[in-house]
Amino acid sequence: GQSLEQPSEVTAVEGAIVQINCTYQTSGFYGLSWYQQHDGGAPTFLSYNALDGLEETGRFSSFLSRSDSYGYLLLQELQMKDSASYFCAVRRNTGKLIFGQGTTLQVKP
């Protein structure tokens, strides 16, 4: 079968760093994507890792370890506008994305 596990909720304060973990179990793994979705909005693409290591895009970084079937999204210098749901998604060799259930991040002042 296939599954993705990520925490359901994370809380952090403004200016802090937060890490959202994602573990996966799937056949035909090709890469790991991350998406952000604000309440009432559409998911938007954040980052993608096909190879092991860290990818940095501004305040956001994403990490992948294929041998551990594990990845994480790192958000630095948290801002109130970062309060949203974050989804990891496995890209399979068929081109399909399998999404996790999402992590709700609440940023407090």
Interface residue list for other proteins (CB under 8 A): 8, 30-31, 33, 41-45, 48, 50, 87, 89, 91, 95-102
* Minimum distance of other proteins from residue 65's CB (angstroms): 17
* Minimum distance of other proteins from residue 42's CB (angstroms): 4
Q: Which residue type, as a one-letter code, is found at position 80? A: M
Indicate the residue among 13 and 54 with the shorter CB distance to other proteins: 54
Query: CA-to-CA distance for 74 and 47, rounded, in angstroms?
Result: 11
- Complete DSSP assignment for 55-81: EEETTEEEEEETTTTEEEEEE-S--GG
